[in-house]
């Protein structure tokens, strides 16, 4: 399962569209950037650039620990089954 840290912006939509098209299971975790939620310390451990989108893959292909990733271009290139 992938957690998508998201807000309703074009960069957020890029990732929700990719996840839908790839038919991958994901949960949306809203980050209201208008309220400054991108600066919450818990979110900064996932996205130290204080920007959405970001993801946490709880089942990475290598069977390792949950993997967090930020930057929409990197997320789009991240290989998944």
Ligand X SMILES: N[C@@H](CCC(=O)N[C@@H](CS)C(=O)NCC(=O)O)C(=O)O
Stretch that binds ligand X, among 18-26, 58-66, 70-78 (CB under 6 A): 70-78
- Buried b / exposed e over 35-72, threshold 16 CB at 10 Å, is eebbeeeebeebbeebbbbbbbbeebeeeeeeeebbeb
Question: Least separation, in Å, of the C-beta of 49 and ligand X?
Answer: 7
Should residue 38 be labelled a site residue for ligand X when binding is judged by CB under 6 A? yes
Q: Which two tokens stand for residue 68?
A: 């967090």
**Closer residue to ligand X, CB minimum distance, 40 or 62:** 40
Residues that bind ligand X (CB under 6 A): 9, 11, 33, 38, 50-53, 71-73
């Amino acid at each position: 399962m992938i957690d998508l840290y998201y807000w309703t912006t074009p960069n957020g939509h890029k990732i929700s569209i990719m996840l839908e098209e790839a038919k991958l299971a994901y949960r949306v975790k809203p980050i209201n950037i208008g309220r400054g939620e991108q600066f919450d310390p818990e979110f900064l451990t996932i996205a130290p650039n204080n920007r959405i989108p970001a993801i946490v893959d709880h089942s990475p292909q290598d069977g390792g620990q949950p993997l967090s990733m930020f930057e929409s271009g990197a997320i789009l290139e991240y290989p998944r089954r």
